[in-house]
Structure 1
Amino acid sequence: MLTISEPGQDKKRQVIGIDLGTTFSLVAYDKEGQVHFVPLDGDATALPSMVAYGENGEMSFGQHAVDLLKAGGQNVFYSMKRLMGKNVEDAQTFAQTVPFEIAGDAQIAKARFKSIEKSAVEVSADLLKHMKHKTEQHLGQAVYDAVITVPAYFNDAQRQATKDAAKLAGLNVMRLISEPTAAALAYGLDKKAEGQFLVYDLGGGTFDVSLLKLTGGVFRVVATGGDTYLGGDDIDNALAQAKGITTLEARTLKEQNGAGVADCAKPIIAKTLQICDDVLNDAEMTEDDLDGIVLVGGSTRLPLVATMVEEAFGHKPQTGINPDQVVAHGAALQASALAGNKRDDMLLLDVTPLSLGLETMGGLVEKVIERNTPIPITRAQKFTTFKDGQTAMDIHVLQGERETVEGCRSLAKFRLKGIPSLPAGAARIVVRFALDADGMLTVTADEETSGVSQSVDVVPSYGLKPDDMLTMLKDSMTHAQQDVGFRQLKEAQLELERVIDACALALEKDGALLDETTFKTLENALKVAKSFLTASNRDDVEDAMETLENAFQSFSEQRVNNALKQAVVGQNIYSEEKGETSK
């Protein structure tokens, strides 16, 4: 087939990078090795992330929406990124900072403002649709494919909500990448930087920090941290309360670095620095190991941010790229690379922020993909049945660092049915975790002998609360020794239970081989062993198991000898050698 195009027409579809921000949003694209930004709000490339809804269904965006909010005559929704992937309970912190009522249910939160109720997905979809339209006007061609950035700490639900919004806007998400990762990509290409860098991203509504290693053109995210309810908006709110002014007036005052801004900003910046310390500790590094710090996000324009960061880490932050544009810049480069326009063979490896695993017997967690594993990744692990004749297995997918189910977050549950009825330990179940580049997880369970299979796409109905992820990490460190001891005790108890079941079954099947006294002795040995199933000392449990095995050893030998006798009863050795069976 021959495609005829007009002279000068680009035969390739243009792909774009989108920074869908809490306060501002941008669109960028890579053309012939240069990154360009789309004017979205008049001549301005940064579009205020606000949408105003009129009574008759009309919509206004950006600065026009800001003006309508100031006038107080419209339903104007803003900072909606903070509601992304949240339910009503999760959204209560958000409700304290905006003039919205929170509606919705246990699945999804909505903001009610005056006469209109909207979810974060709906508002974001309208905003993206507007950005798509402006981009198509600017480029003179249709746009379908985009890389969209999200905070590093966005969980599955928040990432899925972002993809849903894009889909409603008519956009195909080529990939979701974390905002600090996008910034690192931009700096790596422009500066040819190598070393270990801290990417400090303070946006309007979220804070992200990523520790990256840049070597030989390969970006590897070593560790990540952040808070989905910490950003420049919090400085605005604190300043508004302190001065008795509106948040919009406070934002203007902050941009001018006016009186009182530093006092309101210091506690919030201090919180971000504590998160940075936690990330360095997680990676077993100190500030001396860093080669530099990159500032990202419009809120880093506040001079106090750079000052406090430099004081804390001893490095003057890099600001070679406009902090408002650097995330969209990196997203555009990633989109171009995914479209086949690779530059300098750059490779970017993102990581999963928390471990993923499965519940095993005794309420323990078996980790399949460890925290900070580069993604995309597929890992498989083999499991088996615990009971004789077990024909189904419950698969419980968990996220977190603790050794116990109650210390981790439940992501999904499903049941693998149709397992062949076999003795305990004979079935072979392979559970495969596939974590894609967007951080979305698919779990598949297969029984090898029968071919039965079951899978689930893990998309929770709501996400972690603001500080839950950091709490989970800290808890795992605080309780590490306790968790290991608990795991060892549980494993010993499970092994004792397995031995008890095997001995009880042997006694039930072949108890006739024993005299009455021996039978009762072994019954009593079983009873004593069962009493240790709830013992709190591992050594006691292991001693009980050894005692039980010793008690049953003679009986086990009797059973083996009896089985051998039964096998040769009625068999003539001479005729057996000839292949004949005696009558």
Structure 2
Amino acid sequence: MAKYSIDLQVGKVKESEASSTIGETIVGIDLGTTNSLVAIVKDGIAQAVAGPDNKNVLVPSLIHFAEDGSVLVGDEARPFLTTHPERTIYSVKRLLGKSYGDLSTFEDRFGYRIIDENEDRLVKIAVPTADGKDDRYYSPVELSAQILKTLKARIEQELGTPVSRAVITVPAYFNDSQRQATRDAGKLAGLDVLRIVNEPTASSLAYGIGLKDEDEGQTIAVYDLGGGTFDVSILRIEQGIFEVMATNGDTFLGGDDFDQAIVDYLTETYSLNLASPGLRGSIRLLAERAKKALSTQNSYSEDFHGTSLTIDRITVDSLFEPLIARTLASCGSALKDAELEKADIDHVIMVGGSTRVPAVQRAVTEFFGKAVNNTLDPDQVVALGAAIQADVLAGNQKDVLLLDITPLSLGIETVGGLMDPIIARNSKVPTRVGRKYTTSVDGQKNLKVAVYQGERDLVADNRKLGEFVLSDIPPMAAGIPQIEIQFYLDADGILRVKAMEHRSGQSQTVTIKSQYGITEEEMAEMLIDSITNAETDVAQRALVEARNEATNVLLSARKFLKQNESWLTEEQVAAITGYNDRLEAAVKGDDKDAINGRLQELNDYTTPLAHEALDRNVAAAIRDEQV
């Protein structure tokens, strides 16, 4: 197998045949919205790994938190969707890297509680505890890690040996935040994520396109309609090189929306009362059964709490039509971005369980003007491709080009001493990545940018490469400045960092070289530490983030009291002050769930008052305008 050695300037990876790693297993994982699965290449053949029953390779992406504190994943969690929906999490992939503002309009679709009234912050999921006291708060990363742990245990049971390295796939349309969240979930599950691979690239590999001489010089379209996400990618494959020419799609469009369309139709047609989360969960499962049945039959009926529900294929085709039209619009946009015509496409590959819907297959065939390729199981194709990519990384495939990569993440220090990775480990080089930040203090004129290398969540556990100061920022309120940090890692492993405040145009650029060489042994130790301490790191990060958020909210609450003291009653002032004091006390402790609980209490009380303040300001502005 191939071994990777390190160029000491930040860490360019080069392939060397000098030595090999014996007995190493790298697995491919499809972390899906509806189902997840793990695959390996065995005797040259990619195959998905079944569970102990040796039947089903799919693990439903469901997590249930039982009253006794145990965690159930997969089929074991399914019965609780209707009996305990508030503690049973599904479609968590849709939540990765998302803010409350992204999801607030879809909140009523979930049986569990999504919280965070600050629209710009990442969501949290509140799970009631058995004693009914403080909720437990989980991030989508922690929940995804539970699914990955189950897949890791499955493959280890199959092989009879520990597995710690993986390739994980994501939709091509996933942004940097969603990709980083996927990496973090892998790390928390005890996996060294060697690559985050786009699902269309993985599916192309599964079909063998680009691995055979006769398929060289092909342009393909990958239509990927999963449970929660849709994307279409146009790829050019030549001499083993996979180039994504264009991608388009929607990270919030998939089979779940097809199910919801059926739910909405049945609810309206039969005047169903879905007041409880349990009933909403039951009708959602019924809709899923109807969708699957109507892929092979013309009508479907089922009793729902004493009401006989019936729906036919013609009806669902009409319900699905606007959703399918949205996917085809994305296909047209991708072709336009790639500067291609439909006739330029050699293959159309269908990926994702939702492509089994006959109306989808007909529409895609008609759009591209050629028969679609759906000969492989659409639920397995991505995982099979990930396994092939893993086999390439293990050095067992010599005909597919792997571009040079950086072996350790590069990022900056943020509030609370957190490491925010900007260029993730194993990113291809050269690469350029930018991310926007802002100030945390009113009137802040200078911003220190400290650059670190490593995989731990706290900068104290990583290596510092250098720092510089972006100065002369015009004084503004905290959160107003728009500061973009750009990392450019060139083909020689040299990192250039640029910071720019967009409103003023102030900028600063530095070239950073590693202050000391990192040996292969040191790099391996850093990676092992990141996996070993993943759970502790995530807990520390969650605590720091909760404290940071609470500090910001406390500052806002104090400003609110001062700015609105003219109309707030003594009781309201006393209540807000009391909530502030309780939150301040929680911040001094080490219980992030207690902080989140006190934070939620303050948000719940002050949100109506904030709306009233806004109404008063609007009314005052109108009066001034009339005068």
> What TM-score range do you get, normalising by the shorter chain?
0.5 to 0.7
**Unaligned residue ranges in structure 1 (runs of 5+):** 1-9, 351-368, 381-391, 396-413, 420-430, 456-460, 462-583
Partner of 2:383: 328
Larger C-alpha radius of gyration, 1 or 2? 1
- 1:446-496 deviations in Å (ceiling 9; x for gaps): 9xxx987599xxxxx9xxxxxxxxxxxxxxxxxxxxxxxxxxxxxxxxxxx
1:346 is aligned, of 385, 388, 400, to: 400
Cα distance in 1 for residues equivalent to 2:432 and 2:60: 41
Q: Where do 1:175-190 residues align within 5 Å? A: 175-187=195-207, 188=209
Q: Which amino acid aligns with 1:347?
A: L
Q: Secondary structure at the match of 1:285?
A: coil
Is 2:430 the partner of 1:377?
Answer: yes
Q: 1:179 Cα shift?
A: 0.7
Whole-angstrom distance in 2 between the partners of 1:31 and 1:376: 30
CA distance in 1, matches of 2:240, 2:320: 37
User: Which SS does the other structure have where 1:89 is aligned?
Assistant: helix
Given that 2:495 and 2:512 are in contact with CA atoms closer than 8 Å, whether structure 1 keeps it comes out as: no
Give 1:261 shift: 2.3
Partner of 1:531: none
Q: Is the 8 A contact 1:41 1:62 kept in 2?
A: no
User: Do the aligned partners of residues 418 and 182 (structure 1) sit closer, same or farther apart at CA in structure 2, a change above 3 Å counting?
Assistant: closer
Q: Which residue number corresponds to residue 16 of structure 1?
A: 27
| Paired-residue identity, % | 42
The equivalent residue for 2:76 is: 64
Structure 1 position 229 matched with structure 2 position 252: yes
Match in the other structure for 1:121:
141
Segments of 5+ residues of structure 2 without an aligned counterpart are 1-20, 130-135, 268-281, 300-311, 405-422, 434-445, 450-465, 472-485, 500-508, 515-544, 546-627
* Residue pairs, 1:39-438, within 5 angstroms: 39-40=50-51, 42=53, 43-72=55-84, 75-104=87-116, 105=118, 106-115=120-129, 116-187=136-207, 188=209, 193-194=215-216, 195-244=218-267, 246-257=283-294, 258=299, 259=312, 260-343=315-398, 345-347=399-401, 375-378=428-431, 416-417=468-469, 433-434=488-489
Is the CA contact 2:86–2:127 (under 8 Å) kept in the aligned structure 1?
Answer: no
- Alignment pair present for 1:30 and 2:41: yes
SS in 2 for 1:91: helix
- State whether residues 165 and 193 of structure 2, in contact with CA within 8 Å, keep that contact through their aligned partners in structure 1: yes
- What is the SS of the residue equivalent to 1:347? coil
Alpha-carbon contact 1:77-1:113 (below 8 Å) kept: no
DSSP 3-state at the match of 2:69: coil
Give the Å deviation of 1:315: 1.2
Higher relative contact order (CA 8 A, sep 6+): 2
Contact 1:445 1:454 in 2 (8 A): no
Q: How far apart are residue 31 of structure 1 and its match?
A: 2.0
Q: 1:112 to 1:41 in 2, by over 3 A?
A: farther
Answer whether contact 1:379 1:433 (CA < 8 A) is retained. Answer: yes
Q: How many residues align?
A: 384
Distance 1:452 1:322, change over 3 A: closer
For 2:470 and 2:88, how far apart are their aligned partners in 1? 54
SS in 1 for 2:328: helix
Does the 8 A contact of 1:220 with 1:349 survive in 2? no
Residues in 2 aligned to 1:90 and 1:67: alpha-carbon distance in whole angstroms:
29
Q: Supply the RMSD in Å over aligned alpha carbons.
A: 3.7
Match of 2:408 in 1: none
- Please name the residue that 2:615 is paired with: none
Structure 1 match to 2:4:
none
Q: 1:379/1:418 Cα in 2 relative to 1: closer, same or farther (>3 Å)?
A: closer
The answer on whether the counterparts of 1:418 and 1:452 sit within 8 Å (CA) in structure 2 is: no
Q: CA deviation at 1:93?
A: 3.8
Shift of 1:442: 7.1
Deviation (angstroms), 1:324: 0.8
How big is the shift at 1:135? Answer: 1.1
